[in-house]
Amino acid sequence: MNRRVRSQLAIALVAVWMTGGWTLQGQERPQITAAQVDQWMQELSNWGRWGADDQLGAVNLITPDKRRAALALATTGEVVSLSLPITVGAPPEDPESTAAFTNLRVVNIPSDFLMERQQVAFHGATVSHLDALCHAHHDGKIYNGVALEDIFTEDGCARMGISGLAGGIVTRGVLLDIPRLKGLEAFEDGTHVYPEDIEAWERQTGVTVSSGDAIFLRTGRWANDNRSGYDITVAPWLKQRDVALVGSDGIQDVGQIPGTALPFHKLVLVAMGANIFDNMDLEALAETAARLNRWEFLLVAAPIPNPGGTGSPLNPLAIF
């Protein structure tokens, strides 16, 4: 049995299990282990799918036809920002700290212009940003099997950096407002969203996630500061649907799996090569979508193409 057949079989079996085929009502779901994550790293891999030298990953799924279809969704002309306002604050005293912060200093120069100097550390849970494919590694490899030691320097990533998306992102965005599905304004802390939740949302809205889409999960985080997000079992579902980009207002990785750190991030970034939108503000999007009864939209997003950058703050736009 070749690798492709094994991968398809594994995804199909996981899909049966995830939708309740192997779980009796009232019983707990099987515990996902680090060994299962390692297995999924192989089974869900897109390495080599677009060639040995590919640096775009799942963005390759956004074809010209996909872009044209997405552009046709912009019918009312309403535009909604998906970005949080940046909070300006002093950087941490520790120069080695990885904590998120923004810093702004403005001066009035003699030629009658206001000039500024900005600093930003955007990774973490407070700044809206897009992760580059070089942001995460697993067993010493980043997306497409590239060795970490071959691309990592203190001056940036030699490959798979955010500058690969200098042409911007234009595709169909799909809002997954799962709290609304369950009659809630926001999730309680620690809520997991499972593939069957997403499929129930598809049935309710009539919008089916398809190849090349960017999905955005609303958890209501900014209403009650809950820490909720995709369950790890959503990862095989993403591969099955060929999702191009994954986003949320939440923390993406919910819960812990002993022996591995942030496994959802790694499966998406490293195995599938799909960029991740972190810390989106989806409240205005949810209000607009509900008013229009439209859960799909034209997504336009342009990261700052900083050479070698592991990601970028950005202001994605949903256009109806």
Express each pLDDT in 226-264 by its tens digit: 999 999 999 999 999 999 999 999 988 998 899 999 999
* Residues 118 and 164 placed together within one structural domain of the fold: no
pLDDT tops 90 at residue 163: yes
* Residues 166 and 287 placed together within one structural domain of the fold: yes
* Residues 92 and 233 placed together within one structural domain of the fold: no
Sign for the pseudo-dihedral over CA of 219, 254, 147, 6 = negative
- 84-93, 154-163, 173-182, 192-201: least confident range: 84-93
Sign for the pseudo-dihedral over CA of 72, 73, 75, 78 = negative
Provide the domain limits for residue 36: 3-83+128-319
* Residues 116 and 206 placed together within one structural domain of the fold: no
Q: Rounded CA gap, 270 and 198, in Å?
A: 23
The residue behind tokens 């040995």 is: 52
- 24-38, 256-270, 292-306: least confident range: 24-38
pLDDT tops 90 at residue 114: yes
Pick left, alpha or beta for residue 36 (phi over 0 → left; psi -120 to 50 → alpha; otherwise beta): alpha
CB-count burial class (<10 Å; 0-12, 13-18, 19+) for 28: exposed
* Residues 95 and 199 placed together within one structural domain of the fold: no
* Residues 255 and 293 placed together within one structural domain of the fold: yes
* Residues 213 and 261 placed together within one structural domain of the fold: yes
Residues 248/217, Cβ–Cβ less than 8 Å: yes
Q: Where are the alpha helices (DSSP H) in the chain?
A: 3-18, 34-43, 64-71, 148-151, 178-181, 195-205, 221-224, 234-241, 263-266, 283-292
Digit-coded pLDDT (tens) for 129-153: 999 999 999 999 999 999 999 999 9
Q: Rounded CA gap, 24 and 47, in Å?
A: 35
* Residues 286 and 229 placed together within one structural domain of the fold: yes
Confidence class of residue 9 from pLDDT cuts 50, 70 and 90?
very low
pLDDT tops 70 at residue 2: no
* Residues 143 and 288 placed together within one structural domain of the fold: yes
Rg of the chain, C-alpha, whole Å: 20
Pick left, alpha or beta for residue 302 (phi over 0 → left; psi -120 to 50 → alpha; otherwise beta): beta
* Residues 45 and 104 placed together within one structural domain of the fold: no
Boundary (domain end) residue, out of 72, 104, 124: 124
Q: Rounded CA gap, 53 and 164, in Å?
A: 13
* Residues 119 and 245 placed together within one structural domain of the fold: no
Distance between first and last Cα of the chain:
46
Supply the CATH number for residue 190's domain. 3.50.30.50
* Residues 114 and 156 placed together within one structural domain of the fold: no
pLDDT tops 70 at residue 20: no
Confidence class of residue 6 from pLDDT cuts 50, 70 and 90?
very low
* Domain tally, the chain: 2
